[in-house]
Structure 1
């Protein structure tokens, strides 16, 4: 039976609490640390997408993300995953409005369709998606404009919204009326609200499409996705808490397991078994976690209950017993750390790129050396670089090369020179590795012009 709903999973966040495994091109939700049912590793985004499929809801789902992370998202979820681009991260309110504009002007949905916003940073049981399924009916029957999914607050937590509801509620329909929504309570205020039976906001909520479109038009904004996309960066700041306070809002309770996966402590119960090392300390087992993306071994001795994460972006060691507390009384979310000027690793839809070295010069030009790995059958975009040249040396494998519509084959030991404004692409006939030297203006946002992303569009047959 077809459902009158659409789900928008919000995966555009750029949080890097999991640095150095996360960086500006691979945010927390894309780091593959969690254990899949088959024993493999998956990211938070992949876990939620898998759960949507198990709940028969994946066909109703789109994913909202930024342009910088769209390629990685499609690598993890599949090339056919429906993606809605967000120009920059602007928070929940505007992301929901942009999603509504997309469903209204591009997907051409009915104004009565229920839109469900689903965060991409939660660890939940499969029963959570039963709550998701219930939202369209509850929204209609209650007469509310918004419907939230809440979890009973056991204690206050940093940066976690607390919601007070009408304690009488409507038990027959399993929802309550929201009385207040506190987006960032102090620890003292959080303790008071928790004692009064407040709920945490799960991050998931629903609204009728027409409700959000009407709000956009009332504010003099366009309800067309393309136009709102162009206006997006200039929009005034707006909090989700303000939307809840100004709107008839209900809440349905989810009583199962729910965790906001935002740091090493919260991820710990979900980590892949290969990452957890049990050590004997003080007469009992103390788990430590090790994640190493370097080509060098890491040995840690004399410590227990710590997390060690290493990548080409840096090395981080964290005490899992706890740490300093911030000004509001909550534990600090992350330590001070050194950030490199650019990410040293990047996951691509076709494979992986690692920066081996980078230099900038007084005249403005830059030089970067990268090691690239491409999976068999994958290809680079067929594109032009306006302001930089590239030099390739194939170090392993064989590929089909396309330069200005002229195909050829390259193999181990071959070199390729690509001047600026040269159309070029590469398709791996086997697993492929090569070293690339880039020279020119490497950080210009308008340097690349993509002609085609797929080999089939070029009308070429691969060997």
Structure 2
């Protein structure tokens, strides 16, 4: 069975640590009991899955904004990149065509889909693997994994069983009912849908054919905008009749809000901060160097990042999405990239001229791409580290204190021999990602020539 790991979303509920490029699954706030280090949800899920399935049987479906962070946290795992965000059905459909046309997966083979933000034990993923046997032995259209509900929630889909033998036969599937309707469903023996799906590859390929869309990955990539902007649950599962499910009785939690996330954090304070003794069940997560002190406030979360500051009562944190507006996500102030990270220090715009100041860290052995810009110039000041700088074909070593001037249209890049930090000041009429024109460069040849 091939597994599609769904990694998407904008991370709105865990603002300000999450933003448009760094969604909740990338926040390193969970403790790895084996190493003692902090890890993210996606790292935890991938580590647990690696105990159950081979690495070559997993691919990640995501959007372009998350690719660098996935590479940074998971390494060189195959990634299917959505041209635009169109919900889970288009993401799964595109990944299925990749499995079929790029990897040669047969139509009768089983595909599994899991999200990367569930908090579970490894036993959960062993049960996911058992779904392959369920689908092939019962010839159902789709296999699901049901969770025994602990309260009536409007956040989850519900499986309504008709018969329970060694597996659950599902009469119907109801996606995100009201809490009142959920309470009635639970009384009838309904289970939460865990968001895990297993189905023959032909289920999706036939659905694409019905919609007169291609089953070729490259062709569907070009026609991605024609796919219905809909969730997999609404588009597919609710319209099926042959559904079976396994159940899972172990620990399962969706870490979608600060309230649920902090319940699984081993430390009350991450980063520079302190709590008074009478601040009970309060958590601080601080990504800045400025100290954060909380006195006499209980059952709260204080989250601090370059994007903003959140102070919330824990139960109220679920209302975070209602408070958001366009200004909060206009420009991410902190991002992790394949080469390291950057933090925005300042941004001004006056009379059609923009000035953006960043602090960057390029990690040892990594590089900024060879690129040029049509709408901005840049000035770099090296703060620390040793690096190779290339500008318009000329190569030189740079050290702390060096100032590099990069005019509009000048081709440039940097390769870090050691961890290298710099201040970058961008100035121009339009400072946007689209103004980065990347070129190819043979780094191994450059490094050897310097040495």
Moved more, 418-427 or 24-33: 418-427
Task: Give the one of 69, 85, 89 matched to 2:66.
Answer: 69
Q: CA 1:129 to 1:194, structure 2 compared with 1: closer, same or farther past 3 Å?
A: same
Deviations 1:379-409 (A, max 9, x none): 1112222322211111222111112232110
2:154 and 2:182 in contact (8 A); partners too: no
- 2:262 counterpart SS class: helix
Query: Does the residue aligned with 2:50 lie in a helix, a strand or coil?
Result: helix
1:456/1:274 Cα in 2 relative to 1: closer, same or farther (>3 Å)? Answer: farther
Alignment of 1:235-384 (within 5 A): 235-239=227-231, 240-247=233-240, 248-273=242-267, 275=269, 280-281=277-278, 286-320=280-314, 322-323=315-316, 332=319, 334=321, 336-337=323-324, 339=328, 341-363=330-352, 365-384=353-372
SS of the aligned residue for 1:189 comes to: helix
TM-score by length of 1: 0.90
- Could you say what the CA RMSD is over the residues aligned between the two structures, in angstroms? 2.1
Aligned partner of 2:95 among 93, 96, 99: 99
Partner of 1:212: 204
Residue 177 (structure 1) aligns with: 169
Q: Matches of 2:50 and 2:8 in 1, distance apart?
A: 21
Deviations 1:231-252 (A, max 9, x none): 2234333342341132222111
Shift of the alpha carbon at 1:59?
A: 3.0
Q: How far did residue 362 of structure 1 move?
A: 3.4
1:257-278 CA-partner distances (Å, limit 9, x unpaired) = 1101101111123214263777
Residue of structure 2 equivalent to 1:82: 78
Q: TM-score with structure 2 length normalisation?
A: 0.92
In 1, Cα distance between equivalents of 2:181 and 2:351: 53
Specify whether residues 127 and 181 from structure 1 end up closer, same or farther in structure 2 by C-alpha distance, changes over 3 A only.
same
2:403 to 398, 415, 418: 415
- CA shift at 1:457, angstroms? 7.5
Task: Report how many aligned residue pairs link the two structures.
Answer: 443
| Residue 8 (structure 1) aligns with | 4
Alpha-carbon shift at residue 280 of structure 1 (Å): 4.6
Q: Does 1:58 align with 2:45?
A: no
Whose helix proportion is higher, 1 or 2?
A: 2
Q: 1:178 to 1:67 in 2, by over 3 A?
A: same
User: What is the aligned partner in structure 1 of residue 134 from structure 2?
Assistant: 138
Q: Which residue in the other structure is 2:434 paired with? A: 446
Q: Distance in 2 between matches of 1:280 and 1:355?
A: 35
Residue 200 of structure 1 is matched in structure 2 by 192
Residues 334-391 of structure 1 show CA distances to partners (whole Å, capped at 9, x for unaligned) of: 462561531111111222111111122333x421011111222221112222322211
CA displacement at 1:228 relative to structure 2: 1.6
Decide whether the 8 Å contact of 1:388 with 1:438 is kept in 2.
Answer: yes
Consecutive unaligned residues of structure 2, counting only runs of 5 or more, are none
Determine if contact 2:135/2:143 at 8 Å carries over to the other structure: yes
Task: Rate the CA distance shift 1:159–1:252 in 2: closer, same or farther, 3 A.
Answer: same
- Give runs of aligned pairs for residues 381-392 of structure 1, distance below 5 A: 381-392=369-380
**Cα displacement string for residues 111-152 of structure 1 (whole angstroms, at most 9, x for unaligned residues):** 122111111110011101111211221101111111111101
How far apart, in 2, do the equivalents of 1:333 and 1:195 lie? 30
2:213 to 213, 217, 221: 221
